Amino acid sequence: MNQTTPSYIQIAEKWTKKPFDTETQIATKALIEKGGDDLEDAFYKSMEFGTGGMRGIMGVGTNRINKYTLGGATQALSDYLKKSFPSKEQISVAIGFDCRINSDVFSKLVADVLSANGIKVYLFESLRPTPELSFTIRHLNCQAGIVLTASHNPKEYNGYKVYWEDGAQLVPPHDKGVIELASNIQIEDIQFEGNNNLIEIIGKEVDEAFINGVMNQSLTNEGKDDLKIVFTALHGTSIMGMPQALAKAGFTDVSIVEEQAVPDGTFPTVISPNPEEPEALSMAIDQANELGADLVIGTDPDADRIGIAVRNNKGEMQIMNGNQTASMMTWFLLKEWKKQGKLKGKEFICQTIVTTNLMKDIGDAYGVDTEITLTGFKWIAEAIRKNEETKTYIGGGEESFGYMVGDFVRDKDSISSAVIVAEMAAQAKANGSSFYRQLLEMYKEFGLYHEGLVSIVKGGKSGSEEIAKMMTNLRSNPPKSLGGSTVVAMDDVKSGEAKDLRNNSTTTLDLPSSNVLQFYLENGGKVTARPSGTEPKIKFYFSVKGQLNDVTDYDQELSALNQQIEAIKADLNI
């Protein structure tokens, strides 16, 4: 081939020959003939096996989710497990999958590669919530776990998340160990011929154990018969656990959005199956208004994130953001633990660096430590592991609609979270209040925090380069003021440096390196810039704080805080 031929085309040409199968060869030839950006994006780089796994568009190519990229990652994991557990007579791995197109096919492919390498596989009979997979790893004493899911991404995506023996996603040194092996795997190294004698299908018995674990997190039985709930699975896996959990917890009036109850990876009734997007809950809210329901619960396709809507003081259904739900759950958990005499002075909660500091303020008020981690529940799970012998974990959350109650699951879990949210709403109603009124009372007691988020999507190779340039510019030319308030400190989590700009001093951050910048404002505000680790986007998080002296002043005070955030956005030109 001509030396001037772009390297990505040279790589693509290799996919048109053996050892790649006939179907892959034909699809690659068609993509080469079409040319353009799709071809370049499919082959300009290898699909990155990141610190939690992989996520991307399905199709042929080194930068796509397919038989060979998944096979290579699984071969690397197999090799790493054998290296990590040399004296283990039978290494075992649990595998779960969601509703997405090809998730079931990919799960069997992954099971085949593992079993071909002599590893015992526990494969779920059908789709299951991701938190149940996390639970299953410890329940069955496995050394690792895999779930095939692209979480809340569009229908063209799929993904592959890897868990270690503690039920948490990979953290150092295991993430780096698998990544290093994966980078050197060749197609010829992958063992695709599975051993069915090593693949055991699991289902009902594990389901029951998982639901029992959820029930162990329950804190109150007040008012459950009187709470009206509408639930939507958004075509995802929570239909396999949420109705059962709510019923067992004692909630008798649960209405399911039937049009969204059937698992379907094309997500026909929503633009995006992401409960962070208000549109995703629109059908459930319509149903709630028809029935006069108190609470709407919705989950993403793999059931680890939860979105809720409650009635505000005007009687209208209002969607809670992730920070509000996480803060309310923290407040409820700590109040109930204190009421039940369970707070002994050796408990802790967790939040990530981009989550509202309201959680920490609540923890401080109850004498409970707060561990602040990098973004992602694998770091919250790591905090649990590190404190296991000395402190009891109560709950933890992040702004992106994820929460984890107790430590029986080591990843965010919409099922147990929904039970706690429903108990909170039921208790409030039974006492003549409501979830929303309790939210305002929380703000009055601990301070009115308000957050905002801007996600800027930059697809393809040029997009990745543009995001990298944005972060470089922020590091080399940090803002001196934002929204009319002086920037007094800056944390560069990548370099591990915390700079106090008032006295020009520098200290070391107690966090693993990550491509994150945080700016602290004189008026108590905080701004964070973080490129996504799983999607082609950069996120800007804004947090401002005011005071709520009377709940009737909420709308006025909220408007002032929104103006602060808009002024910060304007200064950043976003």
Cβ-contact 46, 148 below 8 angstroms: no
DSSP 89: S
* Contact by Cβ (8 Å): 496, 510: no
Task: Evaluate the omega torsion of the peptide bond into residue 273 and state whether it is cis, within 30 degrees of 0.
Answer: no
Q: What is the DSSP letter of 551?
A: G
Among candidate residues 92, 134, 151, 416, the one labeled active-site is: 151
Contacts of 191 (CB under 8 A, 6+ apart): 75, 78, 113, 116, 117
According to DSSP, the residues that pair with 247 across neighbouring strands are none
CB 353 within 8 A of CB 359: no
The SS3 assignment for 407 reads coil
Q: Which residue has the tokens 């802790």?
A: 348
Q: 136-166 as b/e, with b when 16 or more CB fall inside 10 Å? A: bbbbbebbbbbbbbbbbbebebbbbbbbbbb
Whether the CB-CB separation of 496 and 513 falls below 8 Å is answered with: yes
Place of tokens 């497990």: 81
Residue 443, H or E segment: helix 435-446
- DSSP 8-class letter at 398: E
Q: Is 282 a catalytic residue?
A: no
Cα–Cα separations (whole angstroms), residue 525 to 74, 195, 264, 517, 539: 43, 56, 42, 14, 17
Cα distances from 100 to residues 210, 300, 534, in angstroms, run: 22, 12, 17
Annotate 385-401 with b (16+ C-beta within 10 A) or e (fewer).
bebeeebbbbbbbbbbb
DSSP 17: S
What's the CA gap between 182 and 344, in Å, rounded? 45
Is 323 in a helix, a strand, or coil?
Answer: helix
Tokens matching residue 470:
């944005």
Residues tagged active-site: 151
